[in-house]
Structure 1
């Protein structure tokens, strides 16, 4: 298996969290990147960001209209 970051060699490791059962994951021998099935699932499930129309502090509708003209 190859590292998605640097294409180095991945080795299987046991990842432990306090109070949780251990999970088998992978660590790259070259760059040290670590991943497991949960991390990979979270990467896939994100939707693209949407623009919410937020403005910078101090920006007013009048100022924005002037700059566009």
Structure 2
């Protein structure tokens, strides 16, 4: 994303991996982690709310355990 204004999530801690968000002119939201900034997830505003809610409730906590 050229000339994007990335904002650090207020929930990111100083010592851990940080999540950054940037809005595009098309209305999509771009997400990336500080330890892998070249990997960017693109999501719509409508899909962002369920993603955040699921993360807060622990819905995705076991996702990493399923990976080989």
Task: Give the structure-2-normalised TM-score.
Answer: 0.25
**Of the two, which has the highest radius of gyration?**
1
Larger strand proportion of the pair: 2
